Amino acid sequence: MANAKLEKLRVLVVDHNPFYCELLEGVLKAIGVGEVTTSLNSDEAFLEIKKGKTSLVLCCWDLEPVNGEEFVKAIRAGENDIDPLVPIIMVTSRTESRYVTNARDAGITEFVAKPLSVKQLLSKIVEVLDRSRPFVKADGFFGPDRRRKEVDEDSKKRKTDNEPHHQAQ
């Protein structure tokens, strides 16, 4: 990825832990991100996003007054004149499958487990910027398409459609 793309990024880091905000801000600046803003709660973050300058959000699950899942849902709903298409990477230590599933279903773009490495974070940022997925609107969901692989027409057919049926003898 060209450094020019990183230099143009305006990242909002939202985490209840001031240490982690500072850590992520330092990592993002070290990899060449142009502008980093931090918020310690969802209310501050909503105000920052409303300014319309945010090109990527990194948020944790444990936000207040609304948690990370509700925060993402509010963004995807376009509440308070917020751009619902802004990419969101959930950065959290809550890695149990129910949290990952709920975050995905809320509309996150990517998921990163804490503790994270610089390489891992950069990889997810590159994924968001260089291989963005189309947005899908369905009953109860608005967000990036959850399917990651492109499937060719031949592989869409069920295996049983292509093979003769064998009867038990």
Mean pLDDT of 151-158: 44
Return the CATH fold of 3-147.
Rossmann fold (3.40.50)
pLDDT digits (tens, 9 = 90+) for 13-35: 999 999 999 999 999 999 999 99
pTM, full prediction: 0.78
Q: Is 32 exposed, middle or buried, given 0-12, 13-18 or 19+ CB atoms closer than 10 A? A: middle
pLDDT at 162: 46
pLDDT digits (tens, 9 = 90+) for 75-101: 988 877 788 888 999 999 998 899 998
- Which stretch of 54-68, 74-88, 148-162 has the lowest confidence by average pLDDT? 148-162
Tokens of 168: 């038990």
Q: What is the 3-state secondary structure (H, E, C) of the chain?
A: CCHHHHHHCEEEEECCCHHHHHHHHHHHHHCCCCEEEEECCHHHHHHHHHCCCCCEEEECCCCCCCCHHHHHHHHHCCHHHCCCCCCEEEEECCCCHHHHHHHHHHCCCEEEECCCCHHHHHHHHHHHHHCCCCEEEECCEEEECCCCCCCCHHHHCCHHHHCCCCCCC
Above 90 in pLDDT, residue 160?
Answer: no
> Domain map of the chain by residue range?
3-147
Mean pLDDT of 8-14: 96
More confident residue, 144 or 97: 97
